[in-house]
Amino acid sequence: MKNIILSAIVGFAPVMASAGGHADFAGHGTGVTTDTKTIEATTGTHVQQTSSDVWIYDNPPEGFHEAMMANCNYFSAFAVGMPQPVGGVGTCQAHDPDGDISLWNGAFQIDGTILMTIVAGTGKWAALNGAKFQGKTRQSLGDANVYDFAPVN
């Protein structure tokens, strides 16, 4: 059961994006799972997964870097016997090479993507509060994955 849950989370969740409502912020990322915890109950299982990610922008605007680091936590709920989560949320703490930070929060979507929103930022990221991004896993590699992301507003 744990292998099914891990595969589903790695394939469904880590899809963080970065930045704010501009087509220039589309890109891809990699996530490596650094910790997984489960709580099994009678009718379902809670899973917490932590990952270390690198977000790479295809064409970042002037002043923004091509890549940044993020630490992400995903919380998923699985019904007994179901390989896909019945719901989940994710939060990422990102920082760029200049020391500017951003905080992301999002929810799993029915189509297998995750919709993330920048909820706080400093420096160049402050102007992007409220920007939304949608991401989807391109390749699951067990405890790692590659994903794509794009702005939605």
Q: What is the pLDDT of residue 103?
A: 98
Q: What is the mean pLDDT of residues 111-120?
A: 95
Q: How far apart are CA 85 and CA 87, in angstroms?
A: 5
Please name the amino acid found at residue 17: A
Q: How far apart are CA 55 and CA 62, in angstroms?
A: 17
Q: Which residue has the higher pLDDT, 51 or 13?
A: 51
Indicate the average pLDDT of the chain.
87
Q: What is the pLDDT of residue 23?
A: 52
Q: What is the mean pLDDT of residues 11-26?
A: 48
Q: What is the pLDDT of residue 56?
A: 97
Phi, psi (degrees; rounded to nearest 5) at 120:
-160, 150
